[in-house]
A and B are shown apart, each in its own frame.
Chain A
Amino acid sequence: MPEAALHRELLARMWLNRAFEEKVSELYASRVITGLLHLAIGQEAVAVGACSHLRTDDWVLGGHRSHGHAVAKGADVKRLMAEIAGRATGYCGGKGGSMHLVAMDAGFVTATGVVGGQIPLALGAAFAAKEGGRQQVAVVFFGDGAGQSGAFHESLNIASLWRLPLVFVCENNGYAEFTPLSAHTLVERLARHAETYGMPAHTLDGNDLLAVHDAMGKAVSQARAGKGPVFVECLTHRMRGHYEGDPAKYRELSQLAEWKEKDPIARFARMIETRSGLTAAEHGAIEADARARIEDAAQFAIASPWPDADEADTQVSAGHG
């Protein structure tokens, strides 16, 4: 794709992610959606930059803050929205909800509410990808908090030992819930752990879409070429509280103001104005288009029926629906 077109495409994907999260937040406020919601507003460049190199049959895994990963991987935003709203038309018929998304048609293998749980799962996906011989790769997203778990360290070891086609994408937003990273570890750059395990590792500005895009391009090609795992650490910031409703008193407000300045979408748009001649009108149209698609998704979810309670005990084990 020519650069100017690529830039516009990436901007559109960023807006799709942002619009999705903002709509979820709105529906939560109006009680259409219930549950524990963790939004990734401010972190869109990571999801979009990373997933822009992936094929549909590549596999992505995420955690509790993974709406954006599924959207960026190409999951159907209608079915995602319906799932989060607990509707029958959701990807999992409403059984999963926000923290437990799955969109197999888009290669979004699973998200999990258990922090760090997705990391060793991704080893399995990568192993299967390798066995499959079709140059698939697996990508796992996780936060800096998850990077303190034992499962993370075990997974780095195995991925490098077996040269699995896996890209570790650490979204280092400096906080695990309400506690800053500095209270969790002396190693505040998680990429250093990957180096210990002999894995190529990069730490970059995760609010710079092109930086993520470039690094992920190289990482994914290396994994696809059978040269083993890569670790990409993206320094970023969530612009909302840990969960919807979190007053986020524990964060310095000045810090938030500083990061607002670094909003990945505004920043990327400013950059491509000069580099690719993006006009204000074009930008407005891209945003409006994304918001319209998400509005459709929201209306689809709202209009969808609730699942039938008789369905609830199906799909627990094989052979039961």
Chain B
Amino acid sequence: MAAMNMVQALNSAMDVMLGRDPDVLIFGEDVGYFGGVFRVTDGLQKKYGRERVFDTPITEGGIVALAVGMGAYGLRPIVEIQFADYIYPAMDQLISEAARLRYRSGAEWFAPMTVRAPCGGGIFGGQTHSQSPEALFTHVSGLKTVIPSNPYDAKGLLISAIEDDDPVVFLEPKRLYNGPFGGRPDQPAKSWAGHPDAEVPLEHYRVPLGKANIVRAGQAATVLAYGTMVHVALAAVAECGIDAEVIDLRTLSPVDVETIAASVDKTGRCVIVHEATRFSGYGGELCALVQEHCFYRLEAPIERVAGWDTPYPHAFEWQYFPGPDRVVQALRRVVEA
């Protein structure tokens, strides 16, 4: 065990996998020599050499396409898209090729690749460095979408993603790299030091894909969240004192319907929280799932707390960001309904 922040935990996952499996390799912009803009691949090129950890030109489409081809021919690439916002030039490769290779080839060929991409706001990146594009990926059959909320899960989920035989989009909430964030920018930034989920085994372990985690048990309502919003939800619950159950989905696709349904069956009330824009966001899918599985148990309309339906505005970072106040309001509405 060692105390790790999320950057170190992710680094450790890749380190372990590079060490165990000669087919694993890492590439992307500035990931080799420099060690990544967010330092997630720091030291890996030095340790494993340029053949296995290397830099590419600025070519997101090319990076993903390369990974598809490598995967089909037996390698197990991990690629970094430096910010999730830069992934759009690679959408064709992800959707038309990576996600369909298995289906198209009668399951003979597939693409065991992991696409890592930092996502989310809270760092003043504006329109092109803050987005949460998860719903674009969950909408695609054949892709898996994962988003961790703490160092322990980050490592275990990343190892599972790398070992998975299908393409996984692995979104890393960059606001959580160095510490948990409850959504109050005016409070001093916390580090992961001392956090129970920052105790990370040095060796190989898995956190399974498709399994949610109940991070706070409760009776009064269910909060569905992932990534940064898990911490915002916990902060909101602590502030308002409503005995809510907070579920960290961890994997968005395939989603753990069982855990969600069991919780909402119990509480009868549900708040869905994500940072991405609201309209056609992943919360819409969650809402549909909850009503399909729990309709007769629901005692209040399902609430969604989300980013605004706008580009991420430079001047309104903290108004756009769905902080604890908005979560508290939604919680009050569902319990008072």
Interface, chain A (partner B; CB < 8 A): 34-36, 86-87, 90, 93-100, 112-116, 145-146, 148-151, 176-179, 183-185, 250, 306-307, 309, 312-313, 316
Q: Which residue of A has the minimal Cβ distance to B37?
A: A177
Across-interface contacts of B89 in A (CB, < 8 A): 149-151
Pull 24 A–B residue pairs with CB atoms less than 8 Å apart, ordered by A: A35-B314, A36-B126, A86-B315, A90-B315, A95-B315, A96-B127, A97-B126, A99-B128, A100-B126, A100-B127, A114-B88, A115-B86, A116-B58, A149-B89, A150-B59, A150-B89, A151-B89, A178-B33, A183-B55, A306-B315, A309-B319, A313-B309, A316-B310, A316-B311
Q: Is the CB of B59 within 8 A of A149?
A: yes
B32 shortest CB reach to chain A, Å: 8
A181 shortest CB reach to chain B, Å: 9
Instruction: Give CA–CA (A293, B59) in the complex, Å.
Output: 40
Q: Is the CB of B86 within 8 A of A35?
A: no
Q: Which residue of A has the minimal Cβ distance to B54?
A: A183
Q: Which of B88, B123, B309, B314 has the most CB of A within 10 A?
A: B314
| Contacts A35-B124, A35-B126, A309-B316 given; does A114 touch B59 at CB 8 Å | no
| Contacts A36-B124, A94-B315, A100-B314 given; does A179 touch B309 at CB 8 Å | no
Across-interface contacts of A146 in B (CB, < 8 A): 58
Residues facing A in B45-79 (CB within 8 A) are 55, 57-59, 61-62
Instruction: Give CA–CA (A87, B86) in the complex, Å.
Output: 27
B210 interfacial by beta-carbon distance below 8 Å = no
Across-interface contacts of A98 in B (CB, < 8 A): 126
Q: Is the CB of A179 within 8 A of B55?
A: yes
B2 shortest CB reach to chain A, Å: 26
Q: Is the CB of B310 within 8 A of A113?
A: no
Q: Is the CB of B126 within 8 A of A113?
A: yes
Instruction: Give CA–CA (A94, B57) in the complex, Å.
Output: 32
**10 more A-B residue pairs beyond the given contacts A113-B125, A307-B316, with a C-beta to C-beta distance below 8 A:** A35-B125, A99-B128, A112-B128, A115-B58, A145-B58, A179-B30, A312-B319, A313-B308, A313-B309, A316-B311
Residues facing A in B15-65 (CB within 8 A) are 29-30, 33-34, 37, 55, 57-59, 61-62
Instruction: Give CA–CA (A135, B85) in the complex, Å.
Output: 36
Q: Is the CB of B319 within 8 A of A114?
A: no
User: 1/0 contact trace for B306-337 toward A, CB 8 Å?
Assistant: 00111101111001100000000000000000
Residue tally, chain B, CB below 8 Å to A: 32
B100 interfacial by beta-carbon distance below 8 Å = no
Across-interface contacts of B55 in A (CB, < 8 A): 179, 183-184
Across-interface contacts of A86 in B (CB, < 8 A): 314-315
Across-interface contacts of B33 in A (CB, < 8 A): 178-179, 183, 250
Q: Is the CB of A184 within 8 A of B57?
A: yes
Q: Is the CB of A316 within 8 A of B309?
A: yes
Across-interface contacts of A148 in B (CB, < 8 A): 57-59
Q: Is the CB of A100 within 8 A of B57?
A: no
Q: Is the CB of B315 within 8 A of A307?
A: yes
Q: Which residue of B has the minimal Cβ distance to A92?
A: B314
B155 interfacial by beta-carbon distance below 8 Å = no
Across-interface contacts of A150 in B (CB, < 8 A): 59, 61-62, 89
Across-interface contacts of A307 in B (CB, < 8 A): 315-316
B129 interfacial by beta-carbon distance below 8 Å = yes
Q: Which residue of A has the minimal Cβ distance to B320?
A: A312
Instruction: Give CA–CA (A307, B320) in the complex, Å.
Output: 13
Q: Is the CB of B313 within 8 A of A94?
A: yes
Q: Is the CB of A97 within 8 A of B57?
A: no
A18 shortest CB reach to chain B, Å: 24
Residue of A34, A94, A96, A176 near B58 (CB, 8 A) is A176
Across-interface contacts of B316 in A (CB, < 8 A): 94-95, 307, 309, 312
Q: Is the CB of A100 within 8 A of B30?
A: no
Instruction: Give CA–CA (A100, B320) in the complex, Å.
Output: 18
Across-interface contacts of A100 in B (CB, < 8 A): 126-128, 314
Instruction: Give CA–CA (A306, B89) in the complex, Å.
Output: 34
User: 1/0 contact trace for B115-138 toward A, CB 8 Å?
Assistant: 000000001111111000000000
Instruction: Give CA–CA (A105, B168) in the complex, Å.
Output: 45
Across-interface contacts of A250 in B (CB, < 8 A): 33-34
Across-interface contacts of A113 in B (CB, < 8 A): 85, 125-129
A294 shortest CB reach to chain B, Å: 21
Instruction: Give CA–CA (A86, B313) in the complex, Å.
Output: 9
Q: Is the CB of B86 within 8 A of A114?
A: yes
Across-interface contacts of A114 in B (CB, < 8 A): 85-86, 88, 128
Q: Is the CB of B308 within 8 A of A312?
A: yes
Q: Which residue of A has the minimal Cβ distance to B62?
A: A150
Instruction: Give CA–CA (A139, B96) in the complex, Å.
Output: 34
Across-interface contacts of A176 in B (CB, < 8 A): 29, 57-58
Instruction: Give CA–CA (A86, B34) in the complex, Å.
Output: 31
Across-interface contacts of A185 in B (CB, < 8 A): 57
Across-interface contacts of B88 in A (CB, < 8 A): 114
Residue of A36, A94, A149, A177 near B30 (CB, 8 A) is A177
Across-interface contacts of B128 in A (CB, < 8 A): 99-100, 112-114
Instruction: Give CA–CA (A184, B129) in the complex, Å.
Output: 23
Q: Which residue of B has the minimal Cβ distance to A309?
A: B319
